[in-house]
Structure formats: C-alpha cells, structure tokens
Amino acid sequence: MSAKNQGNTFRLEVLKARGNGVLTSIDNISPDTTIAELKKRVAQQKSQLYPDRQSYRAEPTGKSVKDTQKLSELNVDKTKKIYFKDLGPQIGWSTVFVAEYAGPLFMYLLFYIRPSFIYGSSAGSKPMHFAAHLGAACWTFHYAKRILETLFVHRFSHSTMPLFNLFKNCSYYWGFTALVSYFVNHPKYTPPSFGYAQIYLGLAIFILNEIGNLSIHLLLRDLRPAGTNQRRIPYPNKNPLTNLFHLVSCPNYTYEIGSWLGFSLMTQTLTALLFTFAGTVQMTIWATQKHRAYKKDFPDKYPKQRKAIIPFLI
Amino acid sequence: MRIMDSKQKSTTQKQSLSTLTTYYLLIYNSILTVGWTFILYETIKQVISYKSVDDLWKCHGLWNAIEIPLKICQTAAFLEVVHAMFGLVRSNPMIVFIQIISRVFLVWGVANYIPHAQLSLGIFLAVTAWSITEIIRYAYYALNLFQVSPQLLTWCRYSFFIVLYPLGVTGEILTIIKAMQTIYPEIVRNRYSIVLPNKFNFGFDYFYFLCVVLLAYTYFPTMYKHMFKQRAKTLNTSPSKKIQ
C-alpha cells in the first residue's frame, strides 16, 4: 500500500480492454482517486459514456474493479494504465421493473376483462370460471410481490443493466403473459379435470411456494450487511421454509418453479406449463452458475450435499 | 435455398478425414445427386405434358409424381446436421439446421399437410429451384471429397443462386398462400387447427401460424445479399491464392 501522496499526480492512459487503442488520457490524476471519481472524469471528456456505462479492469482480461477502490490499491499509479469496457446503453432499475413486471401484471388483467377486440363482442358477458378468477389473482399477486421486492427487499450489486437485456426480457415476459392469459381467460376455458380438489391443491402449492420464495429473499437480504461486499454462505434461519438451503444453493428458484407448477395445476392450461418449463430451464442455468461460484469461493466450507436447484438431482 | 459454405476445405483437413468417412459421404452425396436428378426429370416430364395455362397454374399431377423421392431427399438432408455436429463436414450445425427446416416444413407442413396446396404453380417453381441447386451442390461435395473441384461446377454453384434463390422463394411463398387460401374458411380451418374448448386449454390456429411463417421470408433480402458476398469472396480469389 503506497503512503498517501499529495503532489504525486500522473497521467493515466485509459485503454480499451477489447482490441487495442486508447480511449482517452486523464492528466493530473492522483493515486488516491477512486474508480467512481475516475468514471466522472472520463464522462467529462466523453459525454456519451456516462459513469454507469463504464467498467474498468487492471488487466485487459479479468474481473472489473469496484467503484470504491483507489487507483493506488490497484497499482495503476505504477503502471499508469487502466483498461476500459463499454457496458453499452444502460437503463435504471425503476424503468426495468416497471417494464418487466408491471407490464405482465397489467397485460394479464387486460385479457381478464375479456375485451372484444381480443375475444369478440359477446365474450365479456359470458360466465367466467372460479379457476380463471383465481388465475388472475395469483398472477397479479406474483408480479405485485416482485415489484415490491424490487423496491424494498433486493439489494443490487449494479445500479443499472444493459438496455438490450430489457428488450430481450420484456419480449419473454410479455410474450408469455399473452400466451398464458389468452387461454386462461378465454370464454371457452375448460376447468380442471379433477374439479375443485385440483384447483385448491394447485392454489395451496402456489401460495406455499410464494411464501417460500419471499422467505429466501428476506434471508438473502440479511445475509450481506448493507454497504459491505462480504460474501457469505447462506444457511437456514428460524423460518422453516428456509430449510431448503440444506438441499439446494438457490431455493428461491426452486420455490419459483413450485409456484408455477401450482399455477399450472390450478388452471390446467398447457401454455402455463410451457411457461413453467421455460422458466425452469433459465433458472437452472443461473442456479448452476451460482452454485459453481459458491463452491469456488468456499472450497472447503461449502456444504457438500447441496445441489444447485433441484434437491438430489441438479 | 441453401447458403454456400464460405470455408473451402483445405487439403490438409481432407487428409485427416478417415477413408470410411470419405466413402460414406461419397455414397451419401452420390445418392442425393441421383435423387434430385430424378426429381428434376419427373418435374420437367410432368410440366411439358401440360396443355393449358390452368394446368400449369394448378400443376396437376406434379406432386403425385415427385412426392416420394422429394420427401426422401429433403428429409434425408437432416443427416447433414448430424455430419456437421460430428465434424464430418466443416459447417455450423445450427446454420445447416435452419436452412433445412424451411424446406422440410414446406414439404411436410404445407404441401403434405394441406393437400390442396399441392395444386400450385409454387410447387413447380420451388422444386425446380431446389433440384437444380441440390444436384450442383451434392455433385460438388462428392467431387470435393477427392480434391476434384472443376471450375465450371464451382462457378455454377456460386452463380445459379442469382436466379434460383428468388425463384425458389417465390415458389415457396405461392405454395404457402395457396395453403392459406384453402384453410381460411372456418369449416376448413378447424380441420387443420387445434380448437377450443379442450381439456388442456390450448388452441393453435394453423392459418395464423402460416402468417407468421410468411413473415419469416422478410429475411430473404438479407440472405440474398449475404450470398452475393460469398460469391465475390469465392469466385474472385485466383487459384494461386487458395490455401493448398
């Protein structure tokens, strides 16, 4: 660690991590400058590269550095070089959750009222089965819960995400919302084959898994103290639903799959099952990545019997 | 229409192909060259027998004459995805798959599924374009296995597409439109679609599905341009510059 330098400013070359070439140079920069301050200075010189779009590394390949770190901690004051990556156009989280979660919420309700431009003019007056009402209630609850969690529970490691992801995610969520809600709200909807037993069983499974998912989110929130970057192994707490941590690394995803299985059972609608399947595939990919990261960070201490997402299996 | 491979097989790579693979591919490519030649022959034989414009517009009897060899040859092309997956040929399996799927869909998902679509000029145009392209392509591959690459054949392979690709696409679109016209009325539509109510609450309207398929053809200009680029790359390299 270098001693605090007052007058030891230098000229920093900001190089492009991909390909070669200089992005820009910063004159008279002090070794105590943090990455966050560097980002502001680069943005002054390159106005379209606002700070959230900038990512830095000490080496051309490697992990990006945190905003709180100083140039001296990274040895950049010796090398006088730092590597830059453009994360692309970024979008703030409020925009993200409005589009990704409120979109499906309102779109489902749009189908729920059976507008004539979708179902024809006589559809609105036809009776709607109890299962379809429950479907709308569950769907609304699920996405309202997500919005509230985004606002009050989750802690994000980045304040923005790339714009392209938004387009991709919205297509997925909005597309599947239309596919599921069109059929559940259809005037020709057929109730489940095993009647109310099936409906209530599906509903119970849904509710249980929603609470489970919330329990895991609350646990994860408390796992990392606010403002630190500490990584810790999650363990079950007093809430019995968190005991799933004994068996999997990402029980929140496991519970999410359970919720949608319950929904599919309750509504007996093929597209709901397809939606469940698509989500399962994606979450399994994420869970196995997270699981691998845990095992890498804690090679000795990480519980061996844990799987990524499906107990005993994967 | 098939996109050409931009990578020419280098001699060293061919040497690494085992003899068994070479002979298997030789048999495969030869059978398909013959198969498509037969399809082209039957097609022309049918079409020159037509006496009126209406005959040509409806292509009476054409499908019946070529149905079996066409189904065999077109579906067999899926083997090429397997060849690419196992490295027998140097192609991206995903790209090969996408190229095949559109043709196979036209054969099974349009003409076979909706028989009235068989009575379309589109079938004649599409099959003619496909067969000429495939004869050249498979012959080219077969000869290439033994490092024989006649310039004329190469030129044909990278030039005929200029006419054949738009011709084939036109044929495919005409066939799909004929199919859509056939299943537009509700009584007919329901025979080809999954209708509500049913216990899985699933519906699939084949007419709207074909609408979406038609939209996919908006990709044609991009593909066409890409093939011109490939042509420029391949035909403008002098033999001395080719990697030996």
- Same domain (yes/no): A189, A57: no
In A, residues 266-295, which contact B (CB 8 Å cutoff)?
A: 267-271
Distance CA B114, CA B192 (A): 8
The predicted pLDDT at position B241 comes to 47
The DSSP 8-state label assigned to residue B108 in this structure reads I
Q: How far is CA A19 from CA A56, A63, A244, in A?
A: 15, 17, 45
Considering only A54-68, A100-114, B13-27, which range has the smallest mean pLDDT?
A: B13-27
Residue A302 included in any domain: no
* A184 vs B: CB within 8 A: yes
- Structure-derived torsion over alpha carbons of residues B12, B14, B20, B21, reported in degrees to the nearest 10: 130
Distance CA A155, CA A50 (A): 22
Q: Which two tokens stand for residue A282?
A: 């994606």
Question: Which residues in B lie closer than 8 A to residue A263 (C-beta atoms)?
Answer: none
Residue A314 included in any domain: no
- Same domain (yes/no): A103, A243: yes
List the one residue out of B113, B138, B109 whose CA is nearest residue B39: B138
Phi and psi at A102, nearest 5°, equal -70, -30
- Same domain (yes/no): A290, A225: yes
Residue A78 included in any domain: yes
CA distance A270 to chain B (A): 5
Residue A309 included in any domain: no
Q: Is B187's pLDDT higher than 60?
A: yes
E strand or H helix at B100, and its extent?
A: helix B93-104
The DSSP 8-state label assigned to residue A85 in this structure reads E
B87: left (phi over 0), alpha (psi -120 to 50) or beta: left
Residue A303 included in any domain: no
Residue ending a domain, among A88, A119, A149, is A88
The predicted pLDDT at position A96 comes to 81
Question: Which residues in B lie closer than 8 A to residue A189 (C-beta atoms)?
Answer: 196-197, 201
Q: Which residue has the tokens 């029980």?
A: A251
Residue B8 included in any domain: no
For CA atoms A225, A226, A227, A233, the dihedral sign is positive
Summarize pLDDT for B160-173 with one digit per residue, the tens: 999 999 999 999 99
Summarize pLDDT for A277-300 with one digit per residue, the tens: 999 999 999 999 999 999 999 999
Considering only A223-237, B9-23, B121-135, B215-229, which range has the smallest mean pLDDT?
A: B9-23
CB contact under 8 A, B198 and A267: no
| 3-state secondary structure at position A11 | strand
Structural domain span for residue A286 = 91-297
- Same domain (yes/no): A218, A283: yes
* Most distant CA pair in chain B, distance: 67
Residue B242 included in any domain: no
Question: Which residues in A lie closer than 8 A to residue B198 (C-beta atoms)?
Answer: 190
Structural domain span for residue B163 = 19-182
* B50 noted as active-site residue: no
Read off the pLDDT of each residue in A194-215 and give the average, rounded to a whole number.
97
* B172 noted as active-site residue: yes
Catalytic residue (choose from B165, B192, B219, B224): B165
The predicted pLDDT at position B244 comes to 45
Residue A186 included in any domain: yes
The predicted pLDDT at position A262 comes to 98
In this structure, are residues A159 and A120 in contact, taking their beta carbons and an 8 Å threshold?
A: no
Read off the pLDDT of each residue in B187-209 and give the average, rounded to a whole number.
95
Residue A304 included in any domain: no
CB contact under 8 A, B196 and A193: no
Summarize pLDDT for B19-57 with one digit per residue, the tens: 888 889 999 999 999 999 999 999 999 999 988 888 888
Summarize pLDDT for B101-115 with one digit per residue, the tens: 989 999 999 999 999
CA distance A149 to chain B (A): 32
Q: Is B12's pLDDT higher than 60?
A: no
Residue B4 included in any domain: no
Residue A307 included in any domain: no
- Same domain (yes/no): A250, A121: yes
User: What share of chain A in percent tops pLDDT 90?
Assistant: 55
- Same domain (yes/no): A271, A125: yes
- Structure-derived torsion over alpha carbons of residues B110, B116, B117, B119, reported in degrees to the nearest 10: 150
In this structure, are residues A160 and A52 in contact, taking their beta carbons and an 8 Å threshold?
A: yes
In this structure, are residues A270 and B200 in contact, taking their beta carbons and an 8 Å threshold?
A: yes
Q: What do you get for the CA distance between the two ends of chain A, in Å?
A: 44
Read off the pLDDT of each residue in A179-200 and give the average, rounded to a whole number.
97
Distance CA A27, CA A10 (A): 6
Residue of B nearest to A194 (CA): B199
Residue B94 included in any domain: yes
- Same domain (yes/no): A31, A151: no
The predicted pLDDT at position A234 comes to 94
Higher pLDDT: A256 or B150? It is A256
Tell me which residues of chain B have a C-beta less than 8 Å from any C-beta of chain A.
Answer: 196-203
CB contact under 8 A, A188 and B197: yes
What ipTM, to 2 d.p.?
0.76
Question: Which residues in B lie closer than 8 A to residue A271 (C-beta atoms)?
Answer: 201-202
Q: Is A86's pLDDT higher than 80?
A: yes
CB contact under 8 A, A269 and B197: no
Q: Is A248's pLDDT higher than 60?
A: yes
**Model confidence, pTM:** 0.77
CB contact under 8 A, A193 and B199: yes
The answer to whether the peptide bond before residue A236 is cis (omega within 30 degrees of 0) is no
Q: Is B8's pLDDT higher than 50?
A: no
* A189 vs B: CB within 8 A: yes
**E strand intervals along A78-149:** 81-86, 90-92
Interface test with B, best of A190, A198, A268 (most B CBs within 10 A): A190
Q: How many domains does chain A have?
A: 2
Question: Which residues in B lie closer than 8 A to residue A270 (C-beta atoms)?
Answer: 200-202
Distance CA A137, CA B161 (A): 56
| Cβ neighbours, 10 Å, residue A269 | 28
CA distance A269 to chain B (A): 5
Cβ-in-10-Å burial (0-12, 13-18, 19+) of A299 comes to: exposed
Q: How many domains does chain B have?
A: 1
Higher pLDDT: A96 or A184? It is A184
In this structure, are residues B61 and B27 in contact, taking their beta carbons and an 8 Å threshold?
A: no
Q: Is B2's pLDDT higher than 60?
A: no
Q: Is A230's pLDDT higher than 80?
A: no
Q: How far is CA A230 from CA A157, A224, A226, A246, B154, in A?
A: 12, 6, 10, 21, 62
- Same domain (yes/no): A153, A55: no
| pLDDT band at residue B198 using 50, 70 and 90 as cut-offs | very high
List the one residue out of A154, A40, A53 whose CA is nearest residue A94: A154
| pLDDT band at residue A88 using 50, 70 and 90 as cut-offs | confident
Distance CA B80, CA A296 (A): 40
- Same domain (yes/no): A125, A40: no
Q: Interior CA angle at B204 toward B202 and B205, to 5°?
A: 145
Q: Can you give the CATH number for the domain in which A35 is found?
A: 3.10.20.90
* A209 vs B: CB within 8 A: no
- Same domain (yes/no): A112, A174: yes
Q: Is B3's pLDDT higher than 60?
A: no
For CA atoms B212, B217, B221, B222, the dihedral sign is positive
CB contact under 8 A, B197 and A190: yes
- Same domain (yes/no): A107, A38: no
Helices (H), A158-194: 163-184
